[in-house]
Structure 1
Amino acid sequence: MNSPLKKQYDVVIVGGGPAGLAAALSARKSGAGDILIIEREVEAGGILNQCIHSGFGLHHFKEELTGPEYAERFIGSVLSENVTVLTNSYVIDISPALQVEIISGQCGYLSLQARAVVLAMGCRERTRGAIRTPGFRPAGVMTAGLAQKLVNMKGLLPGRRIAILGSGDIGLIMARRLALEGCDVVGVYEFSPYSSGLTRNVVQCLDDFDIPLHLSATVAFIHGRDRVDHLTIAPVINQSTPDLSRSWDVDCDTLLLSIGLIPENELSTKLRLHMDAATGGPQVSSTLETSLPGVFACGNVLHVHDIVDFVSEESLRAGQFAAELAMGKRRPGDNIALQKGANIASCVPHSLSPDREQVIYLRVKQPMKNCTLTLGDRYEKKFRMLIPAEMIRLTLAPEVLDHYFGDNLKIEVHPQEVE
């Protein structure tokens, strides 16, 4: 904590990861006075602190950085703006009047008044219980993110012969990381017929290290009494049922789970925010305000992003709008409802306003080649390839939206017509 706590803040931000840091910096630059970040870990930076690989910052800083380098730049900027950062602390409740209740390792129980709140708690990994993998419960089964923390921050190896279930980006990156540490990565097994990670990570983390990727395959049984000693792998029929008649065994001592990320939304559900079943996060307007007035959401707690640069971009907007509200400026309500159409899995935000440029993030349901994305009858964009793992980012000028004032705007993706 870099300054004494006050009883009232213009903007209180829950989470000191990349989203919370960007929101705080933007809130300050937008005129907010007293700003407080509440972070549960002992230092700010979030998941970036354990992501020592490069590849961050290409969009935001126009250069390639490691995760800690990216976090350090934002932390330095936030501290230079005299934003208060309260670490080792948890928000336990927020009232409709924006009274924030906190449990802090430094200060005990606190109750603070906020003029605006930004939710930036990030996301968490799905665990074995989420997919109910059958078998025993030996040591050696963990999420890829935990393995990343053990290797990069604790200097410990999770095992020597590693199998990875799921092809999420963290799992792909850890396949490479463990191979570099001398471990034998026996394979990555993905339930779907396509990778759930970015294409660049499949190439750089698996192909470049000759690590096999088995699509339409899953772990059918975990064997081992004290520690994992082998797995039964089975091909998947029609993306639904493992075919045990064609299963095979793989020797390993560790199973890493990279089976998806979900927004950290216990606080959001406690606040009874309107939620989006597709993203797992709150529904938000074009200003990133939730259904509870004065509460905004951004980053991975809103919807899981591919790259941290887009988290920062979105969170900068959330901080700006939260600061405006705290200073008594409320923008006109949205008047265009955004609707998912053919082949669209999710889209954020959930409504739009033609009074300014809008940014929309969306994902498709399945891989598609040579397709056209349309928004109503006024906008279309052609793509050679779209996959669920890679988020689509669209920027819409106000004149595109004027036509849909007070209407519904449907987003769809269709195969291109052959002339």
Structure 2
Amino acid sequence: MNGAKQSIPAVHRDVVVIGGGPAGLAAAIAAKEAGCGDVLLIERDRILGGILNQCIHDGFGLHTFKEALSGPEYAARFIDRFRELGIAAMEETIVLSLSSDRVLEVSTRGTFQRIEAGAVILAMGCRERTRGAISIPGHRPSGVYTAGAAQNFMNLENIMVGKKVCILGSGDIGLIMARRMTLEGAKVEAVFEILPYSSGLPRNIQQCLNDYGIPLHLNTTVTDIVGKGRLEGIRVAQVGEDRSPIPETERYIPCDTLLLSVGLIPE
């Protein structure tokens, strides 16, 4: 199999950008505007825009365009410029390998290709930390999602993920999903944050929690997940200075959905 791959001649491109989200689009546009005539962007999804496509809230573009745009509107500005410049894109394409001498092996809908690049720009975004990454004990019922996965289900697939919700982590996506779930008719019981402060923007704390009466509990974390088939509830407890749970503060909260907004890991 490897011999068959090596027999496929490589196509040369001056600059290859891996990732068609905001960073990848901006990098490809910048390379083209700086005088590079041969730029290729590779994106694994069927459309460009990356995470912006599911971010239907506004607030994007305040610095770049001096106006508040939704995620898809913000992405569209860059995609339009990308198209105007005639930059090549390969959607639905997975990069299988990247060698030290910048040879990429890629697959597009089952077809295989080798690309020899003068330069490679990695703009692959990040993934969310999962329950496993923070070692929450308990069973593995349905109803436990990362906040971004829930956002994708709701905003792109039109799937409601739950009705009685708790959120662990008070970063911006957790705050935004607290509001989103509320607007779709769910009851958000509370947002829990292990730190003594929220890492979310003050405007999101106000607009996503305070405006909807959703409580934020600092110095608090999830200690157990209850339920086997479907999530039935969680146990939470306050934490000490070493971030270890204080057993006597533990309490049970019934819910059918737990969203995790506990940080990002670069791809």
Query: Does the pair score TM above 0.5?
Result: yes
Q: Helix, strand or coil: the match of 2:52?
A: helix
Per-residue displacement from partner, 1:341-380 (whole Å, max 9, x unpaired)?
Answer: xxxxxxxxxxxxxxxxxxxxxxxxxxxxxxxxxxxxxxxx
**Of 150, 157, 160, the match for 1:157:** 160
For residues 85 and 231 of structure 1, the distance between their equivalents in structure 2, rounded to whole angstroms, comes to: 45
Contact 1:231 1:251 in 2 (8 A): yes
Match of 1:253?
256
Match of 2:236?
233
Could you tell me which amino acid in structure 2 is paired with residue 57 of structure 1? G
**Cα deviation, residue 239, structure 1:** 3.9
For residues 52 and 230 of structure 1, the distance between their equivalents in structure 2, rounded to whole angstroms, comes to: 29
For residues 160 and 247 of structure 1, the distance between their equivalents in structure 2, rounded to whole angstroms, comes to: 23
Match of 1:364?
none
**Cα deviation, residue 96, structure 1:** 2.2
**Cα deviation, residue 170, structure 1:** 0.8
Q: Helix, strand or coil: the match of 2:239?
A: strand
**Cα deviation, residue 101, structure 1:** 1.4
1:39 aligns with 2:43: yes
Match of 2:90?
86
Could you tell me which amino acid in structure 2 is paired with residue 238 of structure 1? E
Instruction: Tell me the TM-score normalized by structure 2.
Output: 0.94
For residues 15 and 47 of structure 1, the distance between their equivalents in structure 2, rounded to whole angstroms, comes to: 11
Match of 1:105?
109
Give the structure, 1 or 2, with the largest relative contact order (CA under 8 Å, sep 6 or more): 2
Per-residue displacement from partner, 1:112-163 (whole Å, max 9, x unpaired)?
Answer: 1111111000011000000110111111001000110111111111100000
Structure with greater helix share of residues: 2
Displaced runs of 4 or more, over 3 A: none
For residues 158 and 216 of structure 2, the distance between their equivalents in structure 1, rounded to whole angstroms, comes to: 27
* Structure 2: runs of 5+ lacking an equivalent: 1-9
**Cα deviation, residue 199, structure 1:** 1.9
**Cα deviation, residue 232, structure 1:** 0.8
**Cα deviation, residue 15, structure 1:** 0.2
**Of 74, 95, 99, the match for 1:70:** 74
Quick one: structure 1 residues 8 and 99, their matched pair in 2 at CA, closer, same or farther if it must change by over 3 Å?
Answer: same
Per-residue displacement from partner, 1:166-211 (whole Å, max 9, x unpaired)?
Answer: 1111111000011111110000000111112222211111111110
1:169 aligns with 2:159: no
Aligned residue-pair number: 258
**Of 155, 179, 183, the match for 2:182:** 179
For residues 141 and 165 of structure 1, the distance between their equivalents in structure 2, rounded to whole angstroms, comes to: 11
* Structure 1: runs of 5+ lacking an equivalent: 1-5, 265-419
Contact 1:218 1:242 in 2 (8 A): yes
For residues 156 and 95 of structure 2, the distance between their equivalents in structure 1, rounded to whole angstroms, comes to: 26
**Of 23, 48, 52, the match for 2:52:** 48
Could you tell me which amino acid in structure 2 is paired with residue 13 of structure 1? V
**Which shows bigger deviation, 114-123 or 197-206?**
197-206
CA-atom RMSD, angstroms? 1.1
For residues 125 and 56 of structure 1, the distance between their equivalents in structure 2, rounded to whole angstroms, comes to: 20
**Cα deviation, residue 19, structure 1:** 0.4
